Amino acid sequence: MILKEYKYELGKIERGYNNRSLYINLSDNTIKEKEVTQFMKDKFIGGKGFGLWYLWNAVTPETKWNDPENEIVIAHGPIAGITQYPGSGKSLVVTLSPLTHMPMDSNVGGYFGPYLKFSGFDALELQGKAEKDVIIFIDGNKGIVQIMESDIEEKDSHLIAEILTERFAKDEEDKKNVSVVSTGSAADHTLVGLLNFSFYDIRRKAVRLKQAGRGGIGTVFRDKKIKALVVRFEGTKGNLNNAADQGKINRTGIKLHREICLLDDKQNRMRKIGTANIIEIMDQYDLLPTHNYKFGSHKDTYKISSDKFQARVTQGLPDGCWYGCSLSCAKAADDFIPQTGPYKGQKVIVDGPEYENAAGLGSNIGVFDRDGVLELNFYCDTYGVDTISFGTLTAFIMECYENGILDKEKTGGLELYFGNKEAALELLHQMARGEGFGKIAGLGIRRMKEIFIKEYGADPDFVNDIGMEQKGLEFSEYLCKESLAQQGGYGLTNKGPQHDEAWLIFMDMVNNQIPTFEDKAEALHYFPMFRTWFGLMGLCKLPWNDIVPENNKYTDEPAKIPEHVQNYVDLYNGITGKNIDKHELIRQSERVYNFQRIFNIRMGYGKRIHDKIPYRAMGPVTEEEYLSRQERYDKQLKELLGLDPENMTTQEKMAALRKYREEQYEKLTDAVYARRGWTKDGVPTIEKLKELGMDIPELIEVVKKHL
Amino acid sequence: MKVLKKNPEKCIACHACEETCSKLYFKEENREKACLRIKETDSYPEITTCTQCGVCIDICPVVALSRDKRGIVRVEKKKCVGCFMCVGFCPEQAMFMHDDYIEPFKCVSCGQCVKVCPTGAIYMSEE
């Protein structure tokens, strides 16, 4: 049953912009178009910038994630939808997160973003709450938007996406023109729900899913009673953006295709195995999170190494999540047969595993079992559970279980010790059913800590030290104890400890390229700003540095990949006809980055106190951890602090190391805030906002209360 | 399958083949729009031609490349989304792009270039 239909004039994209967006309110079924103004394009560029701006205007400091005025905004960006440069089909999803209560942003592949753009819109705002489950359909060729009552009984994404692709495609040939956004049953019962964005895999003849994983966006989606979003657009070509200089874009793309063709096999093997290529490398450098980030390697890592996954990835050919992605990190294991749960015994496709999943669902919870990781991966995706949050919160639960904070009685019979694959799977099934201990686990680490302390009498110091969350968001899967810069890369972020802002472990710890506080601060300024830019444009980060030109190491700044930075400058100028340089690129990001920081402050967070990280991220919490790296830690006490470890107990040594490392983090924080133009409390200064042209009255009003 | 083959030692770089090709294919005498390329070097000219190996067929994300009845690899323009991955991944560098078009183009083994080659530096061969 159609609840509301809206017809719109089809338009033409001009130099990367439609100059309008689509607004839908599900409380009263309003559908309308909004103008994308020059102000928005100048200050916020697109993608996550537009998402944050619309959200800012939709909410107040009192708005909670489950209030009707909270929005989910999906936006791509001016470069998105080109088919010539790898990684150019990304959507950025923004909402107030149920985990952090602040704006969350997540970058996701699949065809929805480009098709939304080709259908005529630079962003889609979803506000309000429906009474009953609804499906929203955008027909990008006919110019029709419909809100319809959902008749779909299936609750999980791999089925919902398949059914709706079948329904809205005219025939088999047309399926590639349909993209579905949905989530699964666990998004109804947990705060870690994700969104699956589909694309149709024409070689497999199957629907594939990519995830907007972080921060509980799927939970908000279900709270609004949205079953699915569907877009259909027929007629994709390589020039629909009407670029100012299409030839420039084509040539820039072909240059990178060639580079990938010649060098990927020698570099990261993204086409062969994808991001999972680094599992064994992380283990080798003692960086693979193991047993809730206690350790950085394990004797059984070989059981989940990339070659084990490669053997299971059954496709013969690499595939991307948008046309023209020759880096092709998307992987799938066909004909996988789950051993548990509602889809037990059925043949399914498992997308991935990506590195984060192999680490989070593998080593971090002690499951050194390839098919176990794949099964957890499949269920997380289809149930709509963020694999990173699931891995990290399950690791936390397992450490609590092994320390007696939890027991079988409290978990309803689940023996959640490290390595218990069956218990981890059952925990996940409980999340999907909204039952038992799964419901508690689905609240995330921050809320579990409160429950364990208040109700189970857990030692607050211990659970706060080992609970790997910050700002309410679970850490992603890198061990950063031995890299101060990466601690900052996780801690001094806008949305929480996710490595998409800065991944500095190798630069810092392995290659020692940023030894001083100033060096680290510069890196923690430049890289978060540079990486923010991908989210403004609708781009993927991987083609920036997961492939590098052959001569990159001889350039002045190899870590920045100068030639690829220039590619991005050329793409932006090629699309828009503007003439920015690599410095203006950073300023574009700085405007949005500072805006997001101020948004956090407006919501009651975003200050120095919120940038602190749990000690597990900085050093050894337990004797077991200290002793596992005693040589390294003793050496540091001797060399850095002039102490004599021979005459100290382990407890004394741990205390001295902790004091030192916590001070280091504070010093780093000072240096980074200064470099970013913030006060010691982490508040952007008015001078900084003026310098960026972001001294708009409503921002000044927020910051001046905190200066 | 008839495939265009080359013998660079005989090539005098007169470019007649390129001009004939572009005229036939795009109705324009423009070597940058030819489906084969002659590049002058210090030694014999470099002749770039398609071997019909078919690597591009598997590279294409929309299956716009396939073999026709003669076994020749053809671009189906209607399906093509202009990503140019085939251009970047061609082992012979014989898939081409020009700013005037959003689809790539390649040799279809028509043999017209061979007819105008004065020295037999290119020829058709049954493979």
| Residue-wise DSSP of A452-508 | HHHHH---HHHHHHH--EETTEEP-S---TT-HHHHHHHHS-SSSS-TTS---HIII
Cα–Cα distance for residue pair A369/A355, rounded to 1 Å? 15
Q: How far apart are CA A351 and CA A157, in angstroms?
A: 12
Contact between A83 and B83 using a beta-carbon 8 Å cutoff: yes
User: Minimal Cα distance from B62: which residue of A?
Assistant: A202
- Among chain A residues, the shortest Cα distance to B88 is held by A258
Q: Which of B82, B85, B102 sits opposite A326 (nearest CB)?
A: B85
Which of A260, A316, A324 is closest, CB to CB, to B83?
A324
**How far does B44 lie from chain A, in Å, by closest CA?**
25
Instruction: Give A557's contacts (C-beta < 8 A, 6+ positions apart).
Output: none
- List phi, psi (to 5°) of A34: -125, 150
Q: Is A202 in Cβ contact with B99 (below 8 Å)?
A: no
- State the angle between helix axes of A562-576 and A517-537 in degrees (0 to 180), rounded to the nearest 10: 30
Distance from CA of B49 to the nearest CA of A (A): 18
Domain boundaries, chain A: 2-232, 274-312+331-474
Q: Would you tell me which residues 325-354 of chain A have a C-beta closer than 8 angstroms to some C-beta of chain B?
A: 325-326
Report CB contact under 8 Å: A253, B59. no
Cross-chain CB nearest to A84 (options B83, B89, B99): B83
Contacts of B82 in chain A (CB under 8 A): 83-84, 237-239, 250
Report the number of distinct structural domains present in chain B: 1
Instruction: Give pLDDT, residue B125.
Output: 96
CA atoms of A306 and A162, how far apart (whole Å): 29
CA distance A183 to chain B (A): 26
Q: Is A566 helix (H, G, I), strand (E, B) or coil?
A: helix
E strands, A72-187, in order: 72-75, 91-96, 103-108, 123-127, 134-139, 144-149, 178-182
Nearest to A257 among B81, B89, B102 (CB): B89
**Is B88 close to A258, i.e. CB distance below 8 A?**
yes
The parent domain of residue B35 ranges over 2-119
CA distance A455 to B62: 56
Place of tokens 């030819």: B34
The predicted structure's pLDDT at residue A330: 86
- Given a contact cutoff of 8 angstroms between Cβ atoms, the answer to whether A232 and A168 are in contact is yes
A640 at interface of B, judged by CB pairs closer than 8 A: no
The verdict on a CB contact (< 8 Å) between B85 and A203 is: no
Cα Rg, chain B, nearest whole Å: 14
Of B83, B88, B103, the CB nearest to A261: B88
Chain A touched by B61 (CB under 8 Å): yes
Q: For the segment B2-61, what is each residue's pLDDT rounded down to a tens digit?
A: 999 999 999 999 999 999 999 999 999 999 999 999 999 999 999 999 999 999 999 999
Is 3.30.465.10 the CATH classification of the domain at A2-232? no
Q: Which ipTM value was assigned to this complex?
A: 0.97
Task: Indicate yes or no: CB of A317 within 8 angstroms of CB of B97.
Answer: no
Q: With an 8 Å Cβ cutoff, is A202 touching chain B? A: yes
Shortest alpha-carbon distance between residue B71 and chain A (Å)? 21
Min Cα distance A181 → chain B (Å) is: 21
* Same fold yes or no, A2-232 and A274-312+331-474: no
Q: Does B53 touch chain A (CB under 8 A)?
A: no
pLDDT tens-digit readout, A307-350:
888 888 766 677 889 999 999 988 888 899 999 999 999 999 99
Instruction: Write out residues in chain A with pLDDT < 70, as ranges.
Output: 314-316
- Looking at the partner chain, which of A237, A239, A257 has a beta carbon nearest the beta carbon of B85? A257
Q: B61–A323: do the CB atoms touch at under 8 Å? A: yes
Judged by CB atoms within 8 Å, which residues 220-249 of A form the interface with B? 236-239, 246-247
Omega prior to A353 cis, within 30 of 0: yes
Beta bridge partners of A105: A94
Distance from the A115 Cα atom to the nearest Cα atom in chain B, whole angstroms: 13
Q: Return the beta strands (E) in A524-580 as ranges.
A: none
* Chain A residue with minimum CA distance to B81: A237
Q: What is the pLDDT of residue A542?
A: 95
The domain made up of A274-312+331-474 is a member of CATH 3.40.50.10780: no
Write the Ramachandran bin of A136: left for phi over 0, alpha for psi from -120 to 50, otherwise beta: beta
Assess if residue B27 is contained within a domain: yes
**What's the CA gap between A560 and A5, in Å, rounded?**
48
CB-count exposure of residue A570 (10 Å: 0-12, 13-18, 19+): middle
Chain-centre distance of CA A595, in angstroms?
19
Look at A250 and B84 and tell me if their CB atoms are within 8 Å: yes
Q: How far is it, in rounded angstroms, from Cα A580 to Cα A388?
A: 36
B92-114 mean pLDDT: 97
CA distance A502 to A500: 6
Beta-strand runs (E) in A321-474: 332-336, 348-351, 469-470, 473-474
What pLDDT does residue A352 have?
A: 73
Q: Judging by beta carbons within 10 Å of its beta carbon (0-12, 13-18, 19+), is residue A434 exposed, middle or buried?
A: middle
What whole-number distance in Å separates Cα of residue A70 and Cα of residue A125?
A: 10
Q: Is B26 on the interface with A (CB under 8 A)?
A: no
Query: Looking at the domain assignment, is residue B126 inside a domain?
Result: no
Tokens of B18: 């390129």
- Closest by CA position to A399, among listed A370, A419, A413, A379: A419
**Binary contact (B88, A203; C-beta < 8 A):** no
Among the partner-chain residues A251, A316, A323, the one whose CB lies closest to the CB of B83 is A323
Identity of the residue in B58, B89, B102 whose CB atom sits nearest the CB atom of A239: B102
Residue A404 contacts B where some CB pair is shorter than 8 Å: no
Measured CA to CA, the distance from residue A169 to residue A167 in angstroms comes to 6
